[in-house]
Amino acid sequence: MADRYLSFTGTAPGRFLTRRLGLPQPAELRRDALDGGLLHLTAGKSDLDLAPVLARTGLPADVNGRPAAVVLDATGVRDVAALADVHAALHPVAGSVAASGRVVVLGAPLAADDHHQAAAQQALEGFTRSLGKEIGRGRTVNLVRLTEAAPAESTLRFLLSPASAYVSGQVIEVGTTGGEQEPDDGDLPLAGRTALVTGAARGIGAAVAETLAGQGAQVVVLDVPQAEDAARRAAERLGGTALALDITAADAGERIAEALPGGLDVLVHNAGITRDRRLVNMPAERWSSVLDVNLAGVLRTTDALLAAGAVNRGGRIVATASIAGLAGNAGQTNYGASKAGIVGLVRSLAPRALDEHGVTVNAVAPGFIETKMTAAVPLLIREAGRRMNSLAQGGLPVDVARTTAWLAHPASGAVNGQVVRVCGQSLLGA
């Protein structure tokens, strides 16, 4: 469903009226290309050599004073005094960043033996989240914590690209290497890889499957038998294959492994259902069905595929959480519990899966995404969902899909155990 308010605020009368009434003024997000160059700043003393990495983002160095993106290297900030360098660096330029531009702050891990450094580095989190809420005009602000001297190239490329249009206010930790490798074809980074997406016949799952196929993956479209026709049509359109299977079946993992003798390189757990009702009015069936599809099926299938060695080394597992699992939502105790469970799965399994199987495990947590399901939400609730984030609008399925593709990228092996919200920096739980 079209966001008519967003369209209205893009007109001269709309800008005038919303400004006079103090209403949100969302800017239409640029999802095709960023307009301008890149400005590289430093706060504190840093040993990072960012120049080669930033050169490969495709953004030229900013020369006109209106950058499309700003990268602030704050890894050397070790005390409160050095935080003044953060202000000094960004204060003059924050207002000049182009509409739909990017601000990325690079931080360091919190030192266990230096509480001054830990305080200063933690301060960067409050700084970036606050700047994200005030910077406006469709611009995003994110913090990347680097736990190695070498910067995380795939993460910077993502955050400095149009693909991250609806990702803001996030803190992403980039750890030790996990078998990442630059693909042979930069335009088709998933060429030669097999990706399975559950719940892929429609909605966000279909967008994920299309995005992965567009990056070269051989996609397996998995959905329940009732959606087999839609799954087959989607698979044919993408040059992939369809697999009709209920993810809650006890032998779902074994059947997936049998269907893919060459194994998987990317496993996207997207299938999910809602059965909303307040707890006092929720029968046991509504509770158990949501927990079984959204969480128990994910756990069983993942365990079975890892045990069978069906997820190839260097593989990626990406699960779908939700801000409902992070912040809670009235009438969704079952859904919120299931999606919070996904977060627990990721945080516990990620280090072990990397050590034992060479596989990373991450999650995306969508906020208000424009789908047929949200189009059916009552008007006032739908409008509140759209406006209650720093970008003052809903996201699109492609925003979730592109974030998933970044986590599935061969060069994203140092990103592990992360839950990345695709919510425009929702005010819920932020």
Between β-strands 419-422 and 360-366, what pairing exists: parallel, antiparallel or unpaired? parallel
- Rounded to two decimals, what is the model's pTM? 0.95
Active site residue 5: no
Q: What is the CA angle 204-208-213, rounded to 5?
A: 150
The pLDDT value recorded for residue 35 is 87
Residue among 127, 166, 287, 335 flagged as catalytic:
335
The pLDDT value recorded for residue 150 is 60
Distance CA 249, CA 247 (A): 6
Distance CA 361, CA 352 (A): 10
Contacts of 27 (CB under 8 A, 6+ apart): 99, 100, 136, 137, 138, 391
Distance CA 61, CA 154 (A): 19
The pLDDT value recorded for residue 185 is 65
| Partners of residue 268 on adjacent β-strands | 197, 318
Q: Domain residue spans in the chain? A: 1-30, 32-174, 194-422
Contacts of 383 (CB under 8 A, 6+ apart): 5
User: Max CA-CA distance within the chain?
Assistant: 62
Three-state DSSP string of 39-74: EEEEEECCCCCCHHHHHCCCCCECCCCCCCEEEEEE
Token output for 152: 């995380």
Q: What is the mean pLDDT of each run of 10 residues along the chain (430 residues)?
A: 84 88 89 94 92 90 90 97 98 96 97 97 98 97 86 90 98 78 79 97 97 98 97 97 97 97 97 95 97 98 98 97 94 97 98 96 96 77 88 97 97 96 87
The pLDDT value recorded for residue 18 is 86
Residue 383: C-alpha distances to residues 6, 375, 387, 392 (Å): 11, 10, 6, 10
Answer whether 32-174 and 194-422 agree in fold. Answer: yes
The pLDDT value recorded for residue 151 is 61
- Chain centroid to Cα 172, Å, comes to 10
- The dihedral through the CA atoms of 260, 272, 208, 302 has a sign that is negative
The pLDDT value recorded for residue 180 is 59
Residue 61: φ, ψ to 5°: -65, 140
- What is the strand order of the sheet 171-174 is part of? 38-44, 69-76, 102-107, 140-146, 171-174
Residues 158 and 164 sit within 8 Å (Cβ to Cβ): yes
Give the CATH number of domain 32-174.
Answer: 3.40.50.720
The pLDDT value recorded for residue 26 is 87
Q: In 224-310, which ranges are E strands?
A: 241-244, 264-269
Q: Which CATH class is domain 194-422?
A: alpha beta
SS3 for 256? helix
